[in-house]
Chains A and B, each alone.
Chain A
Amino acid sequence: METPSFKGTHLFDRLSWAKENLDGVQSDYRVVYEDSIDECAKILVPDPNWMACALQGGILPPVWVYHELARDEAMPTFTKHTRGYLLHDTEPMPAMTEEEAIEYLIMKDCPQEVWRNWDTGNKPKMVICRKEQLPGSREWRNAWKITEELSVTDLAA
């Protein structure tokens, strides 16, 4: 199905069109990251309806729009978004592959200090893996950490 021309259409309306016309896509990719040494690893899971939008193209705004809004929200004087038009009026992203969508989602929903500096320590702060690579049982969920045996140089190689 071809995406209607949505430039200038409110993002909420674009998402409504997608909900009505696209089937959700369950991704097997998971993003494991650590943003605090005192906490267990966190797992980012893409939403199936969002993934369908990313694969379809013409619906989601570029990720820099979210960074602009995040910058506004971080201002001490922030009370309410006044640049929501960036979500609605910016040319939507073209269709992405699943891997490109995961990279987009990382830049949208992971803390910036994690994905910008993922490889600056002795071990990576972030790893993209498949669902089946995670522990099968959640009994020890609060002890999950990225293994110390995974070095940044190994990944780069």
Chain B
Amino acid sequence: MALGKIKADTLEHSTAGALDTQYVVNGSAKAWAQHAGATPLDSFNISGLTDNATGNFTLAFSNAMGNALYAGTFGGATAGNFVCAYNDSQFTASGFNMTCFGYNGASLADPDHATAIIAGDLA
């Protein structure tokens, strides 16, 4: 970044050992989002949310991932009774699809809040 930069390959603690900074770079989340129904609340590295249907949303990255082989964690809540999941066949380097189910898992439904965290390699 233009505003100051520390370059280091290793972080070392006085007693706990050393850590290669590649672990920090590769292990950090590359995108996250929280939305209330179809309204984005806050995020990082997300350009837009597509409301596909009830309980079905697609989020697009600003900085694409290297490919579709990344990991996602999803959650949803409406008084705690929600499950949000993903279909990794709908992961692409440019975005991902998430689906949300009511607590009984039988049908898609809109959670009051849904969250997503993405980790992996950037393009």
Contacts and interface: CB of A to CB of B under 8 A. Distances in A.
B123 A24 contact: no
B50 A15 contact: no
Contact of A24 (B42, B65, B93): B42
24 contacts: A5-B2, A11-B62, A13-B1, A15-B44, A15-B63, A42-B50, A43-B38, A43-B51, A45-B39, A46-B47, A49-B46, A70-B94, A73-B92, A73-B94, A78-B67, A79-B67, A80-B66, A80-B67, A81-B64, A81-B123, A108-B60, A109-B60, A141-B51, A141-B110
A87 interface: yes
Interface of A: 4-6, 9-17, 19, 24, 26, 39-40, 42-50, 53, 60, 66, 69-70, 73, 78-81, 83-84, 87, 105, 108-109, 138, 141-142
A45 B40 contact: yes
B54 A69 contact: no
Given A45-B50, A79-B67, A84-B66, A19 B44 contact: yes
Contacts of B113: none
Interface residues of B, number: 36
A60 B48 CA distance: 14
Interface of B: 1-3, 30, 33, 37-40, 42-54, 60, 62-67, 92-95, 110, 122-123
Contacts of B62: 11, 15, 50, 53, 60
Contact of A141 (B54, B65, B66): B54
B2 to A, nearest CB: 4
Pairs A-B, 8 closest by C-beta atoms: A84-B123, A81-B123, A4-B2, A43-B51, A13-B1, A50-B47, A11-B63, A109-B60
Given A4-B3, A84-B66, A84-B122, A12 B53 contact: no
A12 B63 contact: yes
Nearest to A46: B48
A73 B48 contact: no
A110 to B, nearest CB: 8
Contacts of B1: 4, 9, 13-14, 16-17
A49 B48 contact: no
A142 B107 CA distance: 13
